[in-house]
Structure 1
Amino acid sequence: MTAAAKGVFDPLRTQLQEAAAAFADGPDALEGILLGIVDDVDRAVREPLEIFPVCHHSPASATAMARRLREKQPKVVYLELCEDMAPLLSELRNCRLPVAVQSFATEVDGFPADWSPLSVVAPITEASAEYQAIAYALDTPGVELVLVDRSSDHVFQWEPREPEAPSTDEDAAMHGAAVGIEIGELRPRFAELEEHLLRHGRVRHWSEWWHQYVELPLGDADHETYRQVMLLIGSLFRRLAPGDRRRVRVDEDRERYMWTRMREHLAATGTDPADCLYVCGAFHAASRVEEFGFDGSDTFEISPRTATTWRHGLIPSSHAAIEAQFGLAGGSVSIAATVWAKNLERTGVTPYRLEGQTGTRKSTKKNVKKKAAAALPAPAVEPSDQLSGFLQRPPVLDRLDEAELLGWSVDIVRAARRNGYLASTADAIAVFETSILLAGMRDRARPTPYDFQDAAVTCIEKDTVPGRRDVRRLVEIMMGGDRIGQVGYDALPPLARDVHDRLAPLGLNLEQRGVRRALLDIAAQPELGRCSDVLWILRYLLPQGAARPIMGERKLGERSIQESWDLALGTHQRALIELGYEGVSIEQVLEQRLRRAAYSPQATVATVLEAVEDATLHLRGGRLAEELGTRALEVLASERSVDGAPEVLRRVRRLLAYYRTSEPALPAWIESFVRTGYAHYCTLLPTSFADEDATVRQVAAMLGFLFSMESLALSLGCDRTQLELAVAQSHPDEPSKTALLWAAQVQLGRLSREELRDRCAELLGNPLVLPAYPRYLSGFVQALEPVPGLTDFVVEAVSTAFARLPDPVLLPWLPTLISTLRSGGAELAPLLIREAGRIVPGRLAALDAWVPPWRAQPGPEAVRPVRAARGVALLAEHPATTDALAELLGCEGGWQPADPGPTGAALLGRYPDTAAALGVLLAG
């Protein structure tokens, strides 16, 4: 840099100093800010290592970058992007833009566990300066691309944040809750400044202000003008930023980090700084840290990374996802893509595109000649003051392009008609004229896309939206739409490629977006069974809608012979790619997730048993199911609540049924689980009956486990006395639990049905207890889980209640009963309905003469003689049986017809009580 160039900005300093004195009536902070901005620009312009300031997704930045790269032909390009993302950039040629470079970590080491998973994304579009730099560096021989920004690990080291809930916005969902790294961030951090700019610029949002006052003026500006204006804007926003010390420290540390990395590379390679180009955001280009520049200090120490293992890949992105991620106005990125195409046509600049890039136009022979002609680097030019002329020049009023505006007006009316609007040619004329009117009101000679959008909404939408899309959305689609990127097969991680390979027999293009219907006739084509296995695992791992079964199901011990699926793997490509960060196959990812769920500190017995069931269902059980079953046993032994008892009972029953029908012997873990669970629930039973927090359904599930597993538990060495003692020690106060205890006593033989019926009749006859009687009935209904043999009695009790309860008690209870059965006892309702259908006559004519069975039963005195006489006759007809019974009773001798002495039948005849008991035994 020559001495003559050192004072190029002195005239501008003088003018700004005079302006500050005139406006502020003397030197003050305003003068310091204005002169400081000029100093920042001067410092960056004089830097031997050329700094190229950019704004993210700015067509003006992309156009200026493409022009400068062809002029300068740098040998090294330093890019503001996470340095650990460098290996992925060559895979961009296998993708259709926009896509995002992503760093992903599922298991954290050195960060809080509740931050997991960690994700960092950097979206890339074709109309961005960083893509131009990447394409130039990767496709130009002898050019090196060096990423110099902090690593993904340092992003979370330097920016601790509170755990965030996953985004529910459909547009933002493509990036999820990832931390977005915006290359070239340039937006005021001073809210009052942004509000001032929007108000005086007569615009609605920041994207429109930037388009009107930066994009259009800089679209065809020369290199020095573009660079100095961007440096000026970056310095202005930086000096007027609020004093958030944490954020300022992070910004400055990033700048120290990048300059330290660049000096390390220059020292290691011996590259001349004049042959390098540093691409960064304009906000960071106007830095004032001591490490700034080629001759800056080397006092910054980069902290080591944590032990977290990071995985990297490319995920699809979209214009709407970028706008939602970084707070841009809807449609602004699509409009930027349209402006980028116009800039190329107007300026004649040939952009850089990666060879073989999917979704871009191929270079023509004419373009190739242009590239060859522009290959020679431009001679070095001394920097000059371009800011003074740019700031003093009045805004250029573009001539109205009537043909373009007329085409827009016709197209939006056509689109509105297709979407149900009653639009006509008159509306097209109205949109055309209103666009010009709005532009004039906003001091613009040429309507911008935002003016046209407002005019279309005003003239077409009126007060209703007949279809799915409003007019504003139709304009966005017409201007380019929400372009959605796609990661090509070769750029997918091994897991995603393996999924596509294994689903190839389906014969569907699963890389395309949208829903594809897959029909699997497994009986005719057994090889499709492997595709079915993959689809069921994907249904478990991917978000809802990625793989949705239409026909067919998969349960323990069951396999469908025909299945039908709706597949949208192309739409959910991001989720499939992120599975590749967790493992090399979907089976491995599923195994890891099941282990993570089972060994979580919040894991319950029910969740671990669910993991066992999923492992058996999708991974054929084996070693993993045995390991998770052992884990379920450990959790059961340490659990002190009965909250998950219903789910535990349901899953254990299902697993037992599966093992009994599919395995030669029960696994050791489930035998231990039944044995431990029997003792565990016996111990908790008295406490649960008395605990107000334990619901009747949970206690019923405990009894269901004890009664249904009793035979297996006793065969494994458990003692039934433990259950009897637990029931005897239970003393509930709540009516529904009391009814449940009575049912358990009936099951154990401690209470007869007659005694239970008498207790219910006593409750119905007590006016003080009558309002609480429905709660007893609720307990009896829940008792069908552990004691299904009481179904007929429950039908009797409910019928009696309907007959005898007064309406003020009965009617409020009926909705409660229905809601209880629907929510917590759906499997119990069929038992009651089936039993009621068996008892109640099916014809209306028979209903008048129908007598309920519990009322028509004969008394014990009438039954006993009849049964006794029938029993004696049976014994006389079968002497061998009589002899055996006589021997059992201790009577000596056998059946001797010739002996006039008492025979076995005669002997029993002398003892009618014994004969009656035997008769009842044989008849019943």
Structure 2
Amino acid sequence: MTATHEGTFEALRGQLREAATTFADGPDALEGILLGMVDDVDRAVREPLEVFPVCHHSPASAVAMARRLREKQPKVVYLELCEDMTPLLTELRNCRLPVAVQAYASEADGFPADWAPLSVVAPITEASAEYQAIAYALDTPGVELVLVDRSSDHVFQWDARAERPDAPDDPDAPPAEEEAALHGDAVGVEIGDLRPRFAELEEHLLRHGRVRHWSEWWHQYVELPLGDADHDTYRQVMFLIGSLFRRLAPGDPHRVRVDEDRERHMWTRMREHLAATGTDPADCVYVCGAFHAASRVAEFGVDGTDTFEISPRSATKWLHGLIPSSHAAIEAQFGLAAGSVSIAATQWTKNLKRTRVKPYRLTGQAGAKKAAPVKTLPPAPQAAAADQLTGFLQRPPVLDKLDEAELLGWSVDIVRAARRNGYLASTADAIAVFETSILLAGMRDRAKPTPYDFQDAAVTCIEKDAVPGRRDVRRIVEIMMGGDRIGQVGYDALPPLARDVHDRLAPLNLKLQQRGVQRALLDIAGRPELGPCSDVLWMLRRLMPEGTARPIMGERKLGERPIQESWDLALGTHQRALIELGYEGVSIEQVLEQRLRRRAYDPKATAATVLETVEDATLYLNSRRLAEELGTRALEVLSAERTVDGAPEVLRRVRRLLAYYRTSEPTLPSWIESFTKTGYAHYCTLLPTAFTDEDATVRQVAAMLGFLFSMETLALSLGCDRTQLELAVAQSHPQDPSKTALLWAAQVHLGTMTRTELRAKCDELLANPMVVPAYPRYLSGLLHALEPVPGLADVVVEAVSKAFGRLPDQVLLPWLPTLITSLRAGGTELAPLLIREAGRMFPGRLPALDAWIPPWKAEPAPPVLAPRKQSVRGATLLTAHPATTDALAHLLGCDDPWTTAAPEPAGAALLDRYPTTAEALEALLVRA
């Protein structure tokens, strides 16, 4: 038997040795490569444990796998897939393919923190050898499926991303479509990544094969010839291709080490299983990529060495699940040509019809036909493999006859699809596509046009100079050839959180598993049971990607209850994101709480971001406990801040939370009282520095003053000292004009400057030619002063009006964009104040504008007073009520006693000395 095996490929070795001598300068280098490839094939063929080489998503591999499983009926199937993904495979029957098996870790324990979250996916399609092996093993009694590849944890342990810089993004690359992004940033693991790693070799094959990309070369020169090949021929050809690509791969030490470690790991696991179970290797089959089947490591085979030690896994906690996949996602992740997986699926259907092989399908598989019962036959004996490789290499290429009916149907269908997408295609274009496909195939030495030839012909004949719609002709052909099939994870295979979301949204009576956008109408007032659905939707909007739950009508604010809402839902489209959300907890409330805590306790968190988490905890979770905890954290962060960058956001959120607590709860929470006291002292301390700091903007300083002034009443009631604020303002000496105007507004609020003095300062600035160019900057400060001192709206309107009337154009016109920008930045609070005050001052109708006199120009009318002789009534009134006069007399220093018997009491003397008071009082009485 040994001699027979050694002489199996002797004829092929002799031919290759002669070719090496003839075509090379010397026989050593080329002979070593060619004969080494034959040795690799011979070694793999002679292995007692049958090695079955495959290529990922190859219809030829899938057909050969299904045929071999029915012939051999092995008892153990060893599969090249991450060993920790075994429990998930039974859930494939609850899904519609393609889907991806995923291992996910939200936190990296033992890996660099910037790698998190960690994700590994292994996509599975029906036209793949791995699915045939999985379906056979799971649905055949007495068969064991063993995954032997490295674990998901080892995928990252052996990763060298820390040693290699990230490749820069291609700026010219088109944006990824939604279907192509289903796998996200996950690391892809597949069976049989069979592609040349030697760039010159791939370029040589493409040029001489007259094809555009690798997927087309594989389809033409491997997929079609092996589609109906026998078992021995298929194995030997795949061994040879794997050996060729391996021997001509560049010597990347890291990649070579990872490949060899994977092979050592798999053979170590298989020998461990054989030793533990006592299974005969003849009753097993090892399904792996052709690249790994032609392995030269010492651990190869059941008789290999046991020197490889598998390192322990890290402390990272891995979660596993199934996520939807698609043909486009597989192509994008593994660098395949667009449409190649869809064309492979179409080829799979053709192969099944031509070979009449019955594929394996999991019982109850969504979207699959009921599989015919399989008869249990005795295993076929494994005979010594003959040399099928020599005959295959010497055989001329088989030229398929032109199938005119198929090509004509394609031509008619593409014209019909193109017209639906806006192209002005006609019957003449269908004829042109038909003839051009034949012409292109002939130029490429093909008797039968391939889908790639037809695609090129359609682009040439239909897409002439422009794309009228959303899809180009190439994409239309891909859809017509089978389309981008998108998988779906069934309800039973979803994690608990996803199932809980579906259950809680059941009252909406929508098909939430269905892809696309669905409209949900919630009449919460008429149907109170829809209130919990609204809560779920708002949390999904907070947690899920944009577009998953989009409110059309309705909003959620503190202290408000919804009456009616309208939503656009796309849970089926974003099923992957919902599944990955389920890895973080068992309910969306738990996940939201964890994320809020994570954000609040982040080392880079600011007081504004922590206050946002407090608001979210109140708004979405209605949790006073969590809000109290996060509010205390906001107090700690605010105390540690040394800048005022977040002051505007802090002011906005504190005002909103304070208004909510005052209207919805009997007492204020303790955390917000402490936050007010701490914030009052904190901003008083930073105020003088902020006025002079060039990095602090006028908006930030205005927000600080807004916090101090709006919270002043509450802060003083809690024990703060107003003197601290007065001292802080007195110690502020800004140089910037806008901050100077802001300081004036603060002084007006504190009473150290009157409104008249502020108006006089503005007039002095306008009257000074040296200051006029900087006057708009003073106005900018006054505009921002409306935040802390909204009562100055009339002064600001007056100052802006004077600026429009008196500033020269060379100063006024450049300032207008700044004015608009300032109003836009604080428009929600500032613009309404200005508009309301301007509406009060200016006339409401255009004709009245000509006769209108601005209030600041109109002279006040003198008061109309009664003659002096009529002041007796005022004297009589004061005499009847002497207490008021006595108090006033005492303040003015008149100590004469008030007696009714005295002919001239002190009050009367006081009236004679100060007659204006009595006259004003009398005028009021007369007017009344």
TM-score range, shorter chain: over 0.9
Of 414, 428, 431, which residue of structure 2 is paired with 1:429?
Answer: 431
State the Cα deviation string for residues 412-433 of structure 1 (Å, max 9, x = none): 1111122222222222111111
Instruction: Please state how far the C-alpha of 1:41 moved relative to its aligned partner.
Output: 1.1
Residues 139/3 of structure 1: CA separation in 2 closer, same or farther (3 Å cut)? same
| Post-superposition offset of 1:376 | 3.6
Question: Among residues 527, 547, 551, which one is paired with 2:553 in the alignment?
Answer: 551
Task: Name the TM-score, length of structure 2 as normaliser.
Answer: 0.95
**CA–CA distance in structure 1, aligned partners of residues 81 and 842 of structure 2:** 77
2:317 to 300, 306, 309: 309
Maintained 8 Å contact 2:889/2:910: no
* Code of the aligned partner of 1:356: G
Letter in 1 for 2:50: E
2:188 is aligned with 1:180: yes
1:339 and 2:339 correspond: no
SS at match of 1:454: helix
Matches of 1:481 and 1:259, distance apart in 2: 38
Which residue number in structure 2 is paired with residue 456 of structure 1? 458
Question: Where does residue 172 of structure 2 map in the other structure?
Answer: none
Map of 1:562 onto structure 2: 564
> Any idea what SS the aligned residue of 1:320 has?
helix
Aligned to 2:112: 112
* Aligned residue in 2 for 1:902: 905
Q: 1:858 to 1:69 in 2, by over 3 A?
A: same
Task: Please say if residues 874 and 921 of structure 2, whose CA atoms lie closer than 8 Å, have aligned partners that are also in contact.
Answer: no
Between stretches 873-882 and 259-268, larger displacement belongs to 873-882
Classify 1:898/1:550 alpha carbon distance in 2 versus 1 (closer, same or farther; 3 Å).
farther
For residue 234 of structure 2, the aligned residue among 207, 216, 226 is 226
CA drift at 1:907: 3.6
CA positional deviation for 1:350: 0.4
Q: 1:120 corresponds to which letter in structure 2?
A: V
Aligned letter for 2:131?
Y
Cα pair 1:119 1:178 within 8 Å, conserved: yes
Whether 1:648 aligns to 2:650 is: yes
Please state if 1:740 is matched with 2:748: no
- Superposed displacement of residue 510, structure 1: 0.8
Aligned to 1:248: 256
Alignment partners' CA distance in 2, 1:537 and 1:915: 69
Does the Cα contact within 8 Å between 1:864 and 1:916 map onto a contact in 2? no
Distance 1:594 1:908 in 2: 71
Amino acid at match of 2:593: E
Q: Write the deviation string for residues 755-794 of structure 1: whole angstroms up to 9, x where unpaired.
A: 2222212211222211111011001000100111111000
Alignment of 1:478-517 (within 5 A): 478-517=480-519
Q: Report deviation, 1:379.
A: 2.4
Letter in 2 for 1:679: A
Q: CA deviation at 1:3?
A: 3.1
Pair 1:795–1:12, CA change in 2 (3 A): same
Structure-2 separation of matches of 1:332 and 1:875: 107
Closer, same or farther in 2 for the Cα pair 1:581/1:897, shift >3 Å?
A: same
State how far apart, in whole Å, the 2-side matches of 1:603 and 1:830 are. Answer: 33
Aligned-partner SS, 1:423: coil
Tell me how far 1:34 sits from its aligned partner: 1.1
SS at match of 2:123: strand
Please state how far the C-alpha of 1:161 moved relative to its aligned partner: 2.3
Question: Hey, what's the Cα distance between the residues in 1 that align with 2:417 and 2:177?
Answer: 26
Farther off after superposition, 59-68 or 156-165 = 156-165
Within 5 Å, give how 1:140-159 maps onto structure 2: 140-159=140-159
C-alpha distance in 2 between matches for 1:19 and 1:895: 139
1:28 aligned counterpart, secondary structure: helix
CA distance in 2: counterparts of 1:410 and 1:455, whole angstroms: 13
Deviation for aligned residue 1:820 = 2.3
Q: Contact 1:542 / 1:575 at 8 angstroms: preserved in 2?
A: yes
In structure 2, the CA distance between the partners of 1:538 and 1:873, relative to structure 1 (3 Å rule), is: farther
Does the residue aligned with 1:853 lie in a helix, a strand or coil? Answer: coil
- Rate the CA distance shift 1:854–1:401 in 2: closer, same or farther, 3 A: same
1:169 Cα deviation from its structure 2 partner: 4.2
Distance in 1 (alpha carbons) for counterparts of 2:475 and 2:826:
45
> AA paired with 2:210?
R
User: Which position in structure 2 is the counterpart of 1:270?
Assistant: 278
Shift of 1:744: 0.9
Q: Which residue of 2 aligns with 1:360?
A: 368
Which runs of 5 or more residues in structure 2 are unaligned? 170-174
Measure the CA separation in 2 of the matches of 1:219 and 1:741: 84
Q: Of residues 346, 350, 354 in structure 1, which corresponds to 2:358?
A: 350
- Which amino acid in 1 is paired with 2:913? R
Kindly state the Cα deviation for residue 826 of structure 1 after the two structures are TM-superposed.
4.0
Q: Is contact 1:513-1:568 (8 Å) kept? A: yes
Query: Which residue in the other structure is 1:823 paired with?
Result: 825
Equivalent position of 1:93 in the other structure: 93
Deviation at 1:752, TM superposition (A): 1.4
Rounded Cα–Cα distance in structure 1 between residues aligned with 2:782 and 2:866:
34
1:292 corresponding residue in structure 2: 300
- Secondary structure at the aligned position of 1:760 is classed as helix
Report the Cα offset of residue 886 of structure 1. Answer: 2.8
Name the residue aligned to 1:319.
327
Distance in 2 of aligned mates of 1:67 and 1:459: 41
| Counterpart secondary structure, 1:90 | helix
What is the correspondence of 1:10-159 to structure 2 with a 5 Å cutoff?
10-159=10-159
What amino acid is the match of 2:347?
V
- More displaced, 888-897 or 23-32? 888-897
Deviations 1:186-213, CA, capped at 9 Å, x for gaps: 1111111111111111000111011001
Cα distance in structure 1, aligned partners of 2:921 and 2:257: 96
Residue 525 of structure 1 is matched in structure 2 by: 527
Shift of 1:827: 2.2
1:490 positional shift: 0.6
Using the TM superposition, give the Cα deviation of residue 2 of structure 1 relative to its aligned residue in structure 2, in angstroms.
3.9
Q: How many residues align?
A: 915
**What is the SS of the residue equivalent to 1:271?**
coil
Q: Secondary structure at the match of 1:856?
A: coil
- Structure 1 residue 199 corresponds to structure 2 residue 197: no
Which ranges of structure 1 fall in alignment gaps of 5 or more residues?
none
Separation (CA, whole Å) in 2 of partners of 1:853 and 1:276: 99
Alignment equivalent of 1:661, drawn from 636, 660, 663? 663
Instruction: Answer whether contact 2:215 2:337 (CA < 8 A) is retained.
Output: yes
State the distance in 1 between where 2:810 and 2:633 align: 51
The 8 Å contact of residues 883 and 895 in structure 1, kept in 2 or not, is answered as: no
2:837 & 2:34 partners in 1: Cα distance?
A: 90
Residue deviations 1:790-827, cap 9 Å, x none?
11000010011111100000001001210222134442
Tell me by how many angstroms 1:872 deviates.
Answer: 11
SS in 1 for 2:27: coil
Shift of 1:878: 7.2
Whether the 8 Å CA contact 1:879–1:895 is kept in 2: the answer is: no
C-alpha contact (below 8 Å) 2:737/2:777 kept by paired residues: yes
Pair 1:869–1:500, CA change in 2 (3 A): farther
Is the Cα–Cα contact under 8 Å of residues 875 and 911 in structure 2 kept in the other structure?
Answer: no
* Corresponding residue for residue 838 of structure 1: 840
Give me the identity figure in percent. 80
Q: Distance in 2 between matches of 1:125 and 1:194?
A: 26
Kindly provide the CA deviation profile for residues 673-694 of structure 1, in whole angstroms up to 9, marking residues without a partner as x.
1111111111111111111111
Larger mean Cα displacement after TM superposition, 459-468 or 200-209: 459-468
Contact 2:264–2:300 (CA<8 Å) still a contact in 1?
Answer: yes
Instruction: Determine the structure 2 residue equivalent to 1:571.
Output: 573
| Secondary structure of 1:854 counterpart | coil
Give the letter aligned to residue 905 of structure 2: P
Equivalent position SS for 1:434 = helix
Report SS of the residue matched to 2:287. strand
Deviations 1:285-328, CA, capped at 9 Å, x for gaps: 11111111111111111111111111111011111111111111
Q: 1:66 to 1:754 in 2, by over 3 A?
A: same
Aligned-pair CA distance for 1:912:
5.3
Pair 400,30 (structure 1): closer, same or farther in 2 beyond 3 Å = same
- CA distance in 2 between counterparts of 1:614 and 1:880 reads 64
